[in-house]
Structure 1
Amino acid sequence: MDTILILTILVVICALAFDFINGFHDTANAIATSVSTRALSPRRAIILAAVMNFIGAITFTGVAKTITKDIVDPFALENGSLVILAALVAAIIWNLLTWYYGIPSSSSHALIGSIAGAAISAAGIGILNYSGFIKILQALLISPFIALAAGFIMMSLFGLIFKNTNLYKTNKGFRIFQIFTAALQSFTHGTNDAQKAMGIITMALIAANYHSSDDIPLWVRISAALAMGIGTSIGGWKIIKTVGGKIMKIRPVNGAAADLSSAIIIFGATLIHLPVSTTHVISSAIMGVGSAQRVKGVKWGVAGKIVLTWVITLPITALLAAVVYQLLNLIF
């Protein structure tokens, strides 16, 4: 086998590994509130999330096409397979580190930062597609603030609508409603996050001249969806504990408000073909919900650590990917 074919196979394997890790890393966010309020047992929540993630992943391809062509033009990329492999290795390393320490960092930031860093390391800063890259960065940066506001508004509305309702009955009703919101949250996660690995694989196929357009092959869609579904079934208990309990004390009404508002934001981004961080959106929605009830009820120290991780992910993964690219370049 020639070097390009070997690299392409390695890219496919690493992209599916990235989606698998994303499954137990990021999907934990989607079911964290329903598990913490005991609306669903961990086992049922994980099975529900795995199924809904798979369905969401094979339903849409718009975000995958954005990843394929809007950061770097794959048709103009020399050593494209090596660049993409370096990006995936760096993103996987960062995801595993943050998962190990239970920090809900963004797989989206990790992947996009890694692609940019590896590409710049290979061909200089001019290789970036500035308009597309800035558009993606804007979506990643603005979406948490929108989610914060949406969570605040959603919780305020719930507070007005149910202010005269018996607390026990309200919590019981919202616990049932959370089964629906957890399913919706997992579906929207699949429509956005699983797309990123699809885009990466398609980008590698184009760079290696095995594919001639930004259309996502069916086998890529199914394999990426399966990888994320299997990863989800493994679960991510460390992330669930952070998102589901360490930001604020979550009751069923809080969980439903956070799930519903964040699912709307994520699905809205999917419809306009923009990748967003489900981690950022869900965590921000929880902060917004907590602020609507009682600002002091939010553990802003934990929230601050999460925000710090968001800020440092892009530059660290870009630098890491640049180093990994140079190391791989020596090998290949």
Structure 2
Amino acid sequence: MVFVLLVFVCVLAFANGANDNCKGVATLVGFGAARPRQALIWAAVTTACGAVVSYWISGALVDKFSRSLFEAGIALDHGFFVAVLFGALGWVLIATKSGLPVSTTHAITGALLGAGLVAFSGAGIRWGFLVDKFAKPLALSPVLSLAVVFLLAWPVTRLVRRYSSACVCVVPAQQPAQLGGAAGALTMSAAAPAGATIVTGYGGACEAQPAIAAATGSMVASAIHWFSSGMVGFARGWNDAPKIAALGTVAAAAVAPESGRPLVFLLVTAAMAAGGLVAGASVLETLARKVTPLPLAESLAASAVTSTLVSLASWHGLPVSTTHVSTGAIIGAGLKNNAREVRWGKVGEIVLSWLITLPVSGVLASGAKLLLGWL
């Protein structure tokens, strides 16, 4: 049973990576800043980094998904966690195969409830704790991200439009800058390395100079976009790895009391990264191309808000769903860009998959728990 439990933990982490790794980089692909394979590699690397860091700063999340949902003194054996993993894993695999971005957090929560209802008839479940620490963050996070992105995208759009054509270049000092002209107005600066001059301007101004180095506003915006997308992956690994690892802590303690916990985190980290690389393309396609077009400003706002909200939730030990936050952010970005271009049919499919995640996972877990009880 210990071996089965560890295998299920790894498979759930793999399925989680396949469904969730792409949530941060979908805006990169949607805008055209990265090819799908590039985006998935970036997502795998940043998710793995977040998962590794979570080993040291995720005690609250590990506790919530291993013991805190149940009353003190309730015995949770290996069979219980196998049933929970089966319930969560079954639904996440089905959704990933269908290209639906569902919440592993929701699936684990539903599976915990389903197995708990069979094992303890509901008497051992802390219902108030469930509402305050699980239900509220999960329900509010997509609405909050949608609203924040919709509002934030307006000033971001103005900044991008104003500065995207700005340029800065370093030219040899002996080469006089060609101020003015059709290429765009230039300004020379004395704050430059010896033997060089810094020139700033707009449009194609810098292109007319024999520059040693140059940067444009669009290049800076692209770098910020990549960084914020990577931060979503980091925050996601930070928030999700402890939830999955928590389900394997019982087995880890039985196998190796001292080194079991780091072993489980290592397995979860590797499986999450591999899942996104091997099987993440389907959900990436849904979020990047089937929900709404994403111009640069809206993409930037969606990535920045998603990474910020998930990081804050992880820091405070709140089990939010990166799926809900990122999808809400993408929809908010689409509303800001053009509400008529949001594909509401696909949005409806995604929301429906969210609504049925908890009951389906619960039914699968309760069935697994009943079956294990008969064996």
Fold shared, TM-score > 0.5 on shorter chain: yes
In structure 2, distance between residues paired with 1:121 and 1:58:
34
User: Relative to 1, partners in 2 of residues 1:116 and 1:245: Cα closer, same or farther, differing over 3 Å?
Assistant: same
- Residue 161 (1) aligns with residue 155 (2): no
Instruction: Verify the 8 A CA contact 1:202 1:211 in the aligned structure 2.
Output: no
Please say which structure displays the higher CA radius of gyration: 2
**TM-score with structure 1 setting the length:** 0.89
User: Relative to 1, partners in 2 of residues 1:235 and 1:30: Cα closer, same or farther, differing over 3 Å?
Assistant: farther
Count of aligned residue pairs for this structure pair: 321
- The equivalent of 2:182 in structure 1 is none
- The equivalent of 1:144 in structure 2 is 142
- The equivalent of 1:18 in structure 2 is 12
Describe the SS at the equivalent of 2:317.
Answer: coil
Describe the SS at the equivalent of 1:125.
Answer: coil
Q: CA deviation at 1:111?
A: 1.1
Same amino acid, percent of matched pairs: 27
Name the one with the larger strand percent.
Answer: 2
In structure 1, distance between residues paired with 2:130 and 2:257:
23
- Residue 28 (1) aligns with residue 72 (2): no
- The equivalent of 1:196 in structure 2 is 243
Deviations 1:264-312 (A, max 9, x none): 1111110110111111110000111112232223222211211111111
Any unmatched runs of 5+ in structure 2?
Answer: 166-202, 204-215
Across the aligned residues of Structure 1 and Structure 2, the Cα RMSD in angstroms comes to: 2.4
Q: CA deviation at 1:41?
A: 2.5
User: Relative to 1, partners in 2 of residues 1:166 and 1:177: Cα closer, same or farther, differing over 3 Å?
Assistant: closer
- Residue 291 (1) aligns with residue 335 (2): yes
Instruction: Verify the 8 A CA contact 2:160 2:221 in the aligned structure 1.
Output: no
Q: CA deviation at 1:216?
A: 8.4
Any unmatched runs of 5+ in structure 1?
Answer: 1-6
- Residue 230 (1) aligns with residue 274 (2): yes
In structure 1, distance between residues paired with 2:267 and 2:78:
19
User: Relative to 1, partners in 2 of residues 1:211 and 1:129: Cα closer, same or farther, differing over 3 Å?
Assistant: farther
Could you tell me which amino acid in structure 1 is paired with residue 26 of structure 2?
A
In structure 1, distance between residues paired with 2:161 and 2:50:
35
Q: CA deviation at 1:17?
A: 1.0
Q: CA deviation at 1:28?
A: 1.8
Instruction: Verify the 8 A CA contact 2:164 2:221 in the aligned structure 1.
Output: no
- The equivalent of 2:101 in structure 1 is 104
- The equivalent of 1:4 in structure 2 is none
Q: CA deviation at 1:131?
A: 3.3
Matches within 5 A, 1:73-152: 73=71, 75-78=73-76, 80-134=77-131, 135-152=133-150
Deviations 1:163-192 (A, max 9, x none): 445579765543332211221111011000
Describe the SS at the equivalent of 2:319.
Answer: coil
Q: CA deviation at 1:84?
A: 1.0
Deviations 1:31-66 (A, max 9, x none): 212123232222322222222111111212232222
Of 224, 246, 266, 2:310 maps to 266
Q: CA deviation at 1:74?
A: 7.8
Instruction: Verify the 8 A CA contact 1:106 1:310 in the aligned structure 2.
Output: yes
- The equivalent of 1:276 in structure 2 is 320
Instruction: Verify the 8 A CA contact 2:31 2:293 in the aligned structure 1.
Output: no
User: Relative to 1, partners in 2 of residues 1:166 and 1:40: Cα closer, same or farther, differing over 3 Å?
Assistant: closer
User: Relative to 1, partners in 2 of residues 1:191 and 1:216: Cα closer, same or farther, differing over 3 Å?
Assistant: farther
| Over 4 Å off, 4+ runs | 165-173, 203-206, 208-212
- The equivalent of 2:226 in structure 1 is 179
In structure 2, distance between residues paired with 1:205 and 1:326:
24
**TM-score with structure 2 setting the length:** 0.79
Name the one with the larger helix percent.
Answer: 1
Instruction: Verify the 8 A CA contact 1:16 1:227 in the aligned structure 2.
Output: yes
In structure 1, distance between residues paired with 2:52 and 2:73:
25
